[in-house]
Amino acid sequence: MARRAMSLLPQWSSRVFSVELDGAPHYFAIQEKHRGEEAPWVFRKAQNCERCFSLLVCSSDRIRRAKFYGELGDKLLRHLSPGCDLSPMSSFLPNVKDSLVKGYFVKVNSESSSPTERLLRDLIQHDPVLVCSYLRGEDSQLWTQHQWTDSQLVEVSKGYYVVPSEAPEYHPSALNIINSDVFYSFEEAYEVLKQCGDIIPEAKSVLELLPSRAETRSKPDFPVIVIEGLDATGKTTLTESLRDTLGAALLRSPPQCLSPWRACFDQEPPLIRRAFYALGNYITAEQIGQQGMKTPVIVDRFWHSTAAYAIATAVSGPLCNLPAEGSEVYRWPSDLLQPSLVILLTLDPEERKRRLRNRGQGKTDEEQELDHNQLFRLRVEEAYRRISGPACISVDASPSADQVLQQVLLLIRGKCHL
């Protein structure tokens, strides 16, 4: 199994490795000869460890690869000894699209070294995972990488030396977003859920709800206004007020018909979870098309939310790691109905937290992440602003609900002539 995994990772010595620590990627590379470089930061942080391991999931089947990546993380968390430290990692060819391979990095102390090795040997017998061990030399600054195959430690050219690597021009995940974290066509998202049918029975139920096909449509007779924003920015209050004031239909994305399966798909890996929510937008678009022939339509969240959260989750670290403004990852899907106007409600972070506390409702994992990870919140907000076709118009949601309503009505009347 390990030999087959290795065959799926060409140009091994040209690859860069990224380990997520403290919410940001840290990079290292390998080379056959050591030229006096100091140990990469990841390994300087591991000076109290006897050795480290990397596990990279290498299946050629992307559905299996996504499922196994999640299952591997759960298995490692359950079975690794208390003295081990587990971090997400990846391997990629710098600035090469779709070369990203995900996995985990394990730091091990002397007491937990033997049980960890037994666990990893068992893994590579049956699963599509490539294991490498990292051994510290007599000089504490010198670490070497060794590949495992068929439960044996194999030295390749007596191991590769581990050396620092500069950050690539693009965050590794930024080149892997299209039709993986964010979907840009009905067919791409549909194909993922279709392939899940044998392993996720609920996928078949979701597919039965979908329109027969998505196609580029002319705009409905009446305007379509989307209201976006983080939780507790006042979306529900505003959308209901707009419905009543304009005599409009009010729709939500994801649509209510997907509610029975959301908990199931929220537990799936990103590829499958994001495809599920992408298809929810196409169901909402079908509903918009029907309602928009009779009345204006207000939509509580739409594709902007789906894309912004996915991009901000995939790309870790500071804002500069996001794909540049104007990147193709921010483009609107060509086969998805475009709204007439998109309003983004913004709110001071402390005020938003105060409102969340007053609501006392349970939070999604992403909302919990927004609360304790400022960088994640900033990435979500910036991704919202960079999505085009149409772009969001920001509205300050801190005034009273009536003042916000009046400001949004002015925008609607100016843009949509209502």
Q: What's the mean pLDDT in 151-162?
A: 64
| pLDDT greater than 50 at residue 157 | no
State the Cα–Cα distance between residues 30 and 44, nearest whole angstrom. Answer: 16
Helix, strand, coil shares of the chain as percentages rounded to 5? 45, 20, 35
Residue 148's pLDDT is what?
A: 83
State the Cα–Cα distance between residues 169 and 133, nearest whole angstrom. Answer: 28
Exposure string of 73-100, with b = 16+ CB inside 10 Å and e = fewer, is beebeeebeebbbebbbbbbbbeeeebb
pLDDT digits (tens, 9 = 90+) for 129-142: 888 999 988 776 78
3 state SS of 130: strand
Residue 280's pLDDT is what?
A: 96
State the Cα–Cα distance between residues 181 and 311, nearest whole angstrom. Answer: 7
Tokens, residue 405? 């309503």
Q: What's the mean pLDDT in 352-379?
A: 72
Residue 261: φ, ψ to 5°: -115, 0
CB contact at 8 A, 123 and 55? yes
* % of the chain residues with pLDDT over 90: 61
| pLDDT greater than 60 at residue 39 | yes
State the Cα–Cα distance between residues 404 and 411, nearest whole angstrom. Answer: 11
| Among the ranges given (93-102, 139-148, 313-322, 340-349), the one the predictor scored with the smallest mean pLDDT | 139-148
Question: Angle formed by the axes of helices 270-291 and 186-195, to 10°?
Answer: 130
- Partners of 252 in beta bridges: 300
CB contact at 8 A, 27 and 18? yes
- Confidence tier at 251 by pLDDT (50, 70, 90): very high
Residue 236's pLDDT is what?
A: 92
| pLDDT greater than 90 at residue 188 | yes
Pick the residue with more confidence: 293 or 147? 293
Residue 126's pLDDT is what?
A: 67
Q: What's the mean pLDDT in 83-101?
A: 91
What residues does each domain of the chain span?
Answer: 2-174, 177-416
Q: What is the mean pLDDT of the chain?
A: 88
Q: What's the mean pLDDT in 80-104?
A: 91
Residue 363's pLDDT is what?
A: 56
Residue 112's pLDDT is what?
A: 67
pLDDT digits (tens, 9 = 90+) for 375-408: 898 999 999 999 998 999 999 999 999 999 999 9
CATH architecture for segment(s) 177-416: 3-Layer(aba) Sandwich (3.40)
| pLDDT greater than 60 at residue 364 | no
Residue 155's pLDDT is what?
A: 47
Tokens, residue 39? 């140990």
Residue 362's pLDDT is what?
A: 52
Q: What's the mean pLDDT in 293-304?
A: 96
Supply the DSSP symbol for 376.
H
- Confidence tier at 156 by pLDDT (50, 70, 90): very low
pLDDT digits (tens, 9 = 90+) for 212-242: 765 545 678 899 999 999 888 899 999 999 9
State the Cα–Cα distance between residues 35 and 65, nearest whole angstrom. Answer: 36
Residue 1's pLDDT is what?
A: 46
